[in-house]
Amino acid sequence: MKNIKRNGNSGQFLIVTALIIATLIISITLHIQENSYEGNDFDDQLSSTIIEMVKLSSRNAVLSAIANISNGGSKFVLSQNLEKVTKAYLSLRGKTNYCLQHTPKTDGRYADGIWISWGNNGFGISSSCVDFKLISYGLKFNITMDYSVNVTTAIAITGKYFTLINGDHVETNVTVTCRVFNEEGPHLAKQINLYYRGPSGDWVLVNNSHMIDYLNGTYTLSFRVPSELDQVEVSIHILDTRDIFVMASVTCIKI
């Protein structure tokens, strides 16, 4: 396996996209104002379009942040991204005004909108959650809407192993199952790195594993480890299809 190179600049394209969307929204509203479109159906369609575009830009800002932070970037990236997007909407001044307020979630798990927990119990999660409030006025209709954006990548891993003794030859075979999830359900990995804890206590990258991809977010990896290990500890590092990094480790069960 090729070692995952964590890049602290991950996700920056998404924040640029979010700012482009904000600019596109003001272009649309200016066009509407200049051409005086009429009709309730048109108003409903325009309102729906604006809402979806604002949601997309705010989601991109959150996704960009958790991808960046989970790959080693600064924990302040989320607040910086949110400020960039909200300022972009505030700067869209004309006959139509937009105000996008944000409140990063803080509770027993999230701190300033970020929850990263890479445990040794077989579970790892990289997540960001932010509450938003959109206020828009100046067209023939006003918009006031509250919504939340949650971007999560999590993994659950289990492992088992058995030892075969054939004369003087001892072989320890390990099988690890990894399930990948996002905020909506099963999710796909772009890259998987597998490690085991070697006799010296250091993590050793497995280069010769056999992987089965079930195409539903579940992966099974089989490999061999030195027979002198008293127990088998494994660690899996995942980079998902959105470039969010997550890892977890677990002690395998002997069967």
Dump the DSSP string for 160-225: EEEEEEETTEEEEEEEEEEEEEESSSB--EEEEEEEEE-TTS-EEE-SS-EEEE-SSSEEEEEEEE
Pick among 3.40.50.300, 3.30.470.10, 1.10.150.120, 2.60.40.1930: CATH of 155-254: 2.60.40.1930
Element (H, E) at 247: strand 245-251
- Looking at residue 49, its pLDDT comes to 77
- Looking at residue 1, its pLDDT comes to 46
Q: How far is residue 56's CA from residue 62's CA, in Å, rounded to a whole number? A: 10
Q: How far is residue 152's CA from residue 183's CA, in Å, rounded to a whole number? A: 5
C-beta of residue 163 within 8 angstroms of C-beta of residue 170: yes
Q: How far is residue 61's CA from residue 19's CA, in Å, rounded to a whole number? A: 9
Rounded to 10 deg, the angle between the 40-70 and 12-35 helix axes is 170
Q: Which residues of the chain have pLDDT under 70?
A: 1-44, 46, 92-95, 139-141
C-beta of residue 50 within 8 angstroms of C-beta of residue 145: no
What tens digit of pLDDT does each residue of 64-84 get?
999 999 999 999 999 999 998
Residues with Cβ < 8 Å from 216, sequence gap 6 or more?
186
- Looking at residue 255, its pLDDT comes to 93
- Looking at residue 64, its pLDDT comes to 92
Residues with Cβ < 8 Å from 190, sequence gap 6 or more?
239, 240, 241, 243
Residue with tokens 């075969």: 164
Residues with Cβ < 8 Å from 111, sequence gap 6 or more?
none
- For the chain, the structural domain boundaries read 12-151, 155-254
Q: How far is residue 238's CA from residue 191's CA, in Å, rounded to a whole number? A: 6
C-beta of residue 143 within 8 angstroms of C-beta of residue 55: no
- Looking at residue 134, its pLDDT comes to 92
